Amino acid sequence: MTSVQKMPPAGLDQADTFDAARVEKAKDLLHFLANTVSAMKIFPSEHATVKNFIDQLTQKFSAFLGAYEKFQVGIEEYSFTYGGNPAFTDETAIKSLPFFFFKDGLQILFFYQGLDRPEIVEFLELIKSETQKAAEDSDIVVALWEHDFPNIQYYAPDEFLENRILGEMRDAQAMRNLPDLPEDLANETIEVRVDTSKFTEGRIDLDREDRGEVEKAAARPDEEDLPPGPAAAEPAAAAETDPSERGQTSPAAAMDPTLTESELLALETMVRANRTISPEEEYLDLMVEIIYLEKNAANCQATLDTLLEYHFDQLQSGHFHVAVLIIQKIHELARHLEGNAAKVALLDDFLRRTVSPKTVEAVQTLLAKKKAMDWESLLGFFELVGPPALGLAGDLFEIAPDGEAKHKIVAFIERTGGRNPGLVAAMADNARPKLAREILGILSRVPDNRGIPHLSAFVNFQNKDIKSETIRVLARARDEMANHILAGFLNDPDEEVRIQATMSLDPAKGGARVQQILREASSREFQAKSLKEKEALLAFLGRTQSPEALEFLRRTLRRAPLFGSKRLLEIRLAAVAGLESMGTEEALDALQKGVIGRTKKVREACAAALVRLPPAGSAKG
């Protein structure tokens, strides 16, 4: 094959000196060319990622050739050169684009103005096709010669091709290991006759040399054979098990010779799989490398946008482990770029954008299709995202099937929000009672009662069961903040909730609450309450055992007008409940005086309270 070029070798300008800006553009173009080829090896040509790479590569070629008309690239074993200096290097032979060209004798590539997208695509597809062939069948020089691109030319010296052809001929002869023919037969035609009718006779005819070998073997001394008995058994057994006698044994068999053939095959398959980089990881490594090396902020943002779309594609396919890998690699890249504030800001923005309603939509789609969900990998993705993923976790809780999936989501919320209970409390929603109940449980388990202040989020809830559970949690906490939140439930529209909250108030932390109830007890609103609620409020006053409460309860019990109203009667009966809950000597004395009062129901209530209380002398306080 002859060399092909636009200019004779004497005109090659590989040693020319170019300005720094031109060299940087050349380096960027070559790097992007290599990355585009890598992307095409991973994805089909119609994939959006490949199209995006080709579009950007076309723009870079157009800009360079529009400015300089020609792009001449030198090819060394593992490097592309420009102006005689290395412009791109990849020393991994299996994927190195310079080595791919170099191994077939290519020394220079020429790209000329007029190169358009279709020609670039055809050139890239040619490279992809040749890389997929077996090594002995691939030849990029031949392929370029056959395609004869109008704006892409190359230079491959004839002597390289001649030396390679001669070398291949020598290698082929050495592999066959054929003996040289005698000189007198070198130019003779040898005819071989075979009588196929004797193939089935079961007979082997030996020539004289063969018979001589058989006779030598028969005459071999006995001591050369293995002696009989136990001494012979051991070497024989060794021969049966010695891998060197049978050829190379698999590493798995060497570890455990008891493994069956199927077990060995499964184990070796797993080992090979672990030693192989998946196409997804190879693509991510490529994208991370591009982002790391990219100096133009706009190009870096475009690459991150492409990666984000790929991220959402993987989520919609249920490949959550790939989403995990993306976040891991971006975090790792951010650590390497700590000194580059602008690029780190782009990475942080990318991480924020990975948390999207599209994640929930993807899960909903998969559940609707009744596909198996890899909840472990999905939540692993959430773990890497951290607190920003809490809202998505809440959305997923609503659509996840009952059982293990919901338990895992709750565990994630508790682990992630434990340090900032306010984020967890913000997830509580009237429209999601099941999730709200789980949030309540999480806040109640936060160490050192740090979750208690955030239970105020449930004061205005509409769900009665959740409010009742909140009151029980606050009652167990027994601290000032819990008492303050409980007081908020005293204004709840539901009477049962108000009564439960009143009965749960901690009397030891009454303080201002006592004065408030004393004022309310004299109001018309208090009189309008039911007897049960009045009893609960005045019972709380009694439990405080404060002098003000004792005085109010005794005075209320003594109020006995000749024609008392039903509301007044109820307040007096509630005072009896308050004195009973107080249980002091003074309270017992007041109840004893009430037994001899003139209102029958009040007398009976006081008598019943005294029966339930311990006798005088053993009273509280």
| Terminal-to-terminal C-alpha distance of the chain | 114
Distance CA 541, CA 579 (A): 9
CA distances, 155 to each of 12, 75, 210, 599 (Å): 10, 10, 58, 120
More confidently predicted of 116 and 223: 116
Cα–Cα distance for residue pair 120/57, rounded to 1 Å: 9
Average pLDDT for residues 528-543, to the nearest whole number? 91
pLDDT of residue 261: 72
Is the Cβ–Cβ distance between 413 and 394 less than 8 Å? yes
Token match 């060197």: residue?
244
235 — pLDDT class (breaks 50, 70, 90):
very low
Cα dist. 494→344, 462, 513 in Å?
A: 53, 10, 20
Q: Which of 98-107, 231-240, 430-439, 464-473 has the lowest mean pLDDT?
A: 231-240
Letter for the amino acid at 463? Answer: N
For range 452-463, the mean pLDDT = 93
Q: Two tokens at 423?
A: 């984020």
Q: Give the torsion sign (CA, 593, 596, 599, 600).
A: positive
Task: Read off the pLDDT of each residue in 424-436 and give the average, rounded to a whole number.
Answer: 92
pTM listed for this prediction: 0.54
Residue range 425-445: average pLDDT? Answer: 93
Q: CB under 8 Å to 96, separation ≥6 — which residues? A: 78, 90
Q: What is the pLDDT of residue 112?
A: 95
Q: Per residue in 117-135, pLDDT tens? A: 999 999 999 998 988 888 7
**C-alpha–C-alpha distance, residues 308 and 408, integer Å:** 26
Residue 610 has pLDDT above 90, yes or no: yes
Choose the weakest-confidence range: 57-66, 174-183, 208-217, 574-583: 174-183
- Nearest in space to 528 (alpha carbons), one of 498, 592, 571: 571
Q: What would the mean pLDDT of 366-370 be, rounded to a whole number?
A: 73
Average pLDDT of span 529-535: 91
Whether pLDDT at 38 is above 60:
yes
Note the pLDDT of residue 190.
57
Rounded to an integer, what distance in angstroms lies between the CA atom of residue 533 and that of residue 526?
9
The whole-chain average pLDDT of the chain stands at 81
Mean pLDDT over residues 79-94, rounded? 89
State what percent of residues in the chain have pLDDT above 90.
Answer: 37
pLDDT at residue 7, as a whole number: 44
Instruction: For tokens 């249920």, name the residue.
Output: 318
Highest mean pLDDT among 234-248, 463-477, 549-563: 463-477
Bigger pLDDT: 609 vs 206 = 609
Tell me the backbone φ, ψ of residue 63, rounded to 5 degrees. -65, -45
Opening angle at CA 206, ends 200 and 208, nearest 5: 160
The Cα 488–Cα 279 span in angstroms is 58
Q: What is the pLDDT of residue 266?
A: 73
The SS3 call for residue 72 is: strand
Q: Is the pLDDT of residue 386 over 90?
A: no
- Residue 245 scores a pLDDT above 50: no
pLDDT grade, residue 367 (50/70/90)?
confident
How confident is the model over 567-603, as pLDDT tens digits?
888 999 999 999 999 999 999 999 999 998 888 999 9
pLDDT of residue 237: 45
Q: Is pLDDT larger for residue 227 or for residue 378?
A: 378
Could you give the strand order of the β-sheet that contains 152-155, starting from the edge strand earlier in sequence? Answer: 85-89, 79-82, 70-75, 108-112, 152-155
- Going by C-alpha positions, the residue among 511, 499, 568 that lies closest to residue 539 is 499
Please report which residue ranges of 242-389 form alpha helices under DSSP H.
243-246, 251-255, 261-274, 279-293, 297-316, 320-336, 341-354, 357-368, 375-385
Q: How many Å apart are CA 24 and CA 34, to the nearest integer?
A: 16
pLDDT at 232 over 50: no
Q: What pLDDT shows up at residue 451?
A: 93
Q: Is residue 471 a contact partner of residue 496, using CB atoms and an 8 Å limit? A: no
DSSP helix, strand, coil percent of the chain (3-state; round to 5): 65, 5, 30
Distance of CA 529 to the CA centre of its chain: 56
Give the residue from 324, 332, 375 showing the smallest Cα distance to 354. 324
Q: What is the pLDDT of residue 256?
A: 55
Segment 399-416, tens digit of pLDDT? 888 888 899 999 999 999
Cross-strand pairs, 620: 584
Beta strand 70-75 with 79-82 is antiparallel
Give tens-digit pLDDT for 269-296: 665 555 556 778 888 888 888 888 888 8
Residue, of 509 and 312, whose pLDDT is higher: 312
* pLDDT of the residue at 90: 87
* Contact criterion met (CB below 8 Å) for 18 and 83: yes
At residue 193, the pLDDT reads: 63
Give pLDDT, residue 384: 81
Q: What is the pLDDT of residues 165-182, one digit of tens each?
A: 556 656 665 665 555 555
Q: What is the spatial distance between Cα 429 and Cα 438, in angstroms, rounded to a whole number? A: 11
